[in-house]
């Protein structure tokens, strides 16, 4: 039975007694009553390890005397915590981003961060995210189970993987120019498991190519449905290096496109994992044939080290996606801004189409627009959504888009 999300068990960890009181009070104003304040990492760990604790969210201050946030995260991993974590700090967003990366590296479910002083609306936004992340509260147990490759294999075969789609719009006019497909695992009932929790598992157990084929086929079917509804929308799909080492991948992709009735030039393949290519010749073979078949190619997460300049030199990309860690907050951070604008200039010189990921607010939008970036994707425009919700979103966006296009 779905439970009232307001019954979520939340732990707030902050050494500052005033902050603790304030946050508990704010949760109360939002209707959350199961909130446990803790003033030290040790105390929090004791609470979490209680058999009946079932904590679903930890709001973690990363600056604490004694056990700091980073050390606390290490301990959380050791005690196999499976709920969500959101960071709170007065530190610069770059430090928050790096601790967030640490959470992801440990496969902990990160809900992002809140900058101090925390406002009620910020907290409300965070809790809405928790609700959408959790489905109706079942992720807690589901998350613990997604380290089983056999379950994932069955999920792929049984169609439990579903795509959500995130809009991409031009920064000049706000026009919708495409969507990125992002896979989720619909795990029993309402729980949705996010890809950070199973893509690595798929890669480690040779399941990536089945996963990609399922995602690609679903994305193409959806593209066809939108086209029939009058929206001829390009769709981007994430592929991994493993896909690019399967020599038959271009033929499989082309035959999927043919059976869905979709032109390959409407499909962009985003290459996400650019670890040193062990089989460069195979990848070049596959990528060249994908281009010959008129699929578009994007270099994803540009600038993160997963995507290197050498790849840009060697592979025939059409598009460059600036990683979200360089985009959000760039207007207030000169080093992020430098990286963003350098990536943009380089892409422009290479005549690549540029998409900025992680456009989360109006100031990100304004900055990218001033820098002459082509396309934006991020929470400011829309969160990823099920395919059938896109048409309603298009109506909603056309009502608010003039405001978003104005340089405030
Ligand atoms: P990605 O390709 O970089 O995808 C963008 C991720 O950023 C998505 O997370 C999206 O929900 C999130 N995002 C979008 N806008 C914003 C924003 O404004 N702010 C922030 N902080 N985040 C934003 P998601 O869906 O959890 O996907 C995580 C990663 O999993 C993806 O990163 C991609 O690398 C991988 N992935 C997703 N679907 C597939 C797939 O079908 N195949 C493969 N191989 N990998 C996939
Ligand atoms: Ca991507
Ligand atoms: Ca990315």
Closest CA to 346 of 302, 389, 295, 386: 302
Residues contacting residue 393 through CB under 8 Å, at least 6 positions apart: 167, 382, 385
- Which of 133, 195, 202, 359 has most ligand 1 atoms within 8 Å of its beta carbon, as the pocket-test mutant? 195
Token pair in block for residue 102: 């640490």
Ligand 1 centroid, distance to 133 Cα (angstroms)? 13
Residues contacting residue 57 through CB under 8 Å, at least 6 positions apart: 8, 9, 10, 11, 83, 84, 85, 86, 111, 130
DSSP per residue, 330-370:
GGG-HHHHHHHHHHHHHHHHTT-EEEE----SHHHHHHHHH
Residues of the chain with pLDDT under 50: 1, 136-145, 276, 408
Q: Are 114 and 85 in contact (CB under 8 A)?
A: no
* Ligand 1: residue whose CA is nearest its atom 11: 384
Token pair in block for residue 253: 């992709």
pLDDT at 136: 41
Burial class (CB in 10 A: 0-12, 13-18, 19+), 48: buried
- Which of 134, 184, 217, 238 has most ligand 1 atoms within 8 Å of its beta carbon, as the pocket-test mutant? 238
Show contacts of 365-370: CB within 8 Å, 24+ apart. Answer: 365/171, 365/404, 366/331, 366/407, 366/408, 367/330, 367/331, 367/337, 367/340, 368/171, 368/327, 368/340, 369/171, 369/172, 369/405, 369/407, 370/407
Cα angle for residues 171, 268, 247 (degrees, 5° grid): 160
Query: DSSP 3-state assignment of 118?
Result: coil
Spacing of C-alpha 313 from chain mean position: 27
Q: Could you tell me whether strands 161-170 and 375-376 are parallel, antiparallel, or unpaired per DSSP bridges?
A: antiparallel
Place of tokens 């440990």: 106
Ligand 3 centroid, distance to 236 Cα (angstroms)? 12
* Ligand 1: residue whose CA is nearest its atom 10: 384
Q: Which residues pair with 181 in a beta bridge?
A: 165, 237
Q: Which residues pair with 166 in a beta bridge?
A: 180
Q: Which atom of ligand 1 is nearest to the CA of 112?
A: 21
Integer-rounded Cα Rg, in Å, for the chain is 22
Q: What is the dihedral of CA 121, 125, 127, 132, to 10 degrees?
A: 160
Half-sphere exposure of 81 (CA within 13 A, CB side): 28
Chain segment 120-143, per-residue pLDDT in tens: 999 999 998 888 776 544 344 444
pLDDT at 306: 57
pLDDT at 135: 52
Token pair in block for residue 42: 């040790």
Helix 41-48 / helix 69-78 crossing angle, nearest 10 deg: 20
pLDDT at 37: 96
Token pair in block for residue 100: 């967030």
What domains sit in the chain, N to C, each tagged with a CATH number? 5-134 (3.40.50.2300), 147-404 (3.20.20.450)
Ligand 1 centroid, distance to 41 Cα (angstroms)? 30
Ligand 2 centroid, distance to 300 Cα (angstroms)? 6
Average pLDDT, the chain: 89
Q: Which atom of ligand 1 is nearest to the CA of 377?
A: 15
298 within ligand 1 shell (Cβ under 6 A): no
Phi, psi (deg, nearest 5) at residue 185: -105, 115
196 within ligand 1 shell (Cβ under 6 A): yes
Ligand 1 centroid, distance to 183 Cα (angstroms)? 8
Residues contacting residue 346 through CB under 8 Å, at least 6 positions apart: none
Q: Which atom of ligand 1 is nearest to the CA of 243?
A: 44
Burial class (CB in 10 A: 0-12, 13-18, 19+), 166: buried
302 within ligand 1 shell (Cβ under 6 A): no
pLDDT at 277: 62
């Amino acid at each position: 039975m779905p439970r009232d999300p307001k019954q979520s068990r939340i732990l707030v960890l902050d050494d500052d007694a005033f902050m603790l009181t304030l946050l508990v009070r704010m949760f109360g104003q939002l209707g959350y009553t199961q909130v446990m304040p803790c003033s030290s990492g040790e105390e929090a760990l004791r609470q979490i390890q209680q058999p009946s604790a079932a904590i679903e969210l930890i709001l973690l201050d990363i600056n604490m005397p004694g056990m700091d946030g980073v050390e606390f995260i290490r301990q959380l991993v050791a005690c196999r915590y499976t709920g969500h974590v959101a960071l709170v700090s007065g530190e610069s967003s770059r430090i928050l981003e790096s601790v967030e990366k640490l959470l992801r590296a440990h496969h902990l479910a990160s809900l992002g961060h809140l900058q101090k002083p925390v406002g009620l609306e910020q907290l409300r936004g965070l809790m809405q995210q928790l609700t959408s992340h959790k489905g109706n509260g079942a992720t807690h147990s589901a998350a613990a189970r997604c380290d089983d490759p056999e379950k994932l294999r069955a999920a792929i075969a049984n169609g439990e993987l579903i795509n959500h789609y995130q809009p991409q719009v031009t920064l000049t006019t706000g026009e919708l120019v495409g969507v990125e497909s992002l896979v989720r695992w619909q795990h029993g009932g309402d729980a949705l498991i996010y890809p950070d929790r199973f893509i690595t598992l798929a890669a480690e157990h040779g399941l990536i190519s089945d996963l990609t084929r399922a995602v690609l086929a679903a994305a193409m079917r959806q593209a066809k449905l939108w086209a029939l509804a009058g929206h001829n929308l390009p769709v981007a799909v994430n592929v991994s290096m493993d896909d690019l080492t399967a020599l038959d991948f271009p033929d499989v992709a082309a035959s999927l496109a043919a059976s869905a009735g979709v032109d390959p030039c409407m499909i962009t393949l985003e290459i996400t994992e650019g670890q040193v290519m062990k089989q460069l010749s195979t990848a070049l073979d596959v990528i060249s044939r994908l281009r010959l078949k008129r699929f578009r190619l994007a270099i994803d997460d540009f600038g993160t080290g997963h995507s290197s300049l050498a790849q840009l030199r060697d592979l025939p990309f059409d598009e460059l996606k600036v990683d979200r860690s360089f985009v959000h907050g760039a207007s207030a951070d000169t080093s992020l801004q430098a990286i963003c604008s350098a990536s943009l200039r380089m892409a422009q010189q290479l005549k690549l189409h540029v998409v900025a990921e992680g456009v989360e607010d109006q100031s990100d939008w304004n900055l990218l627009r001033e820098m002459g970036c082509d396309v934006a994707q991020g929470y400011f425009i829309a969160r990823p959504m099920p395919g059938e919700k896109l048409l309603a979103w298009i109506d909603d966006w056309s009502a608010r888009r003039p405001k978003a296009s104005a340089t405030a």
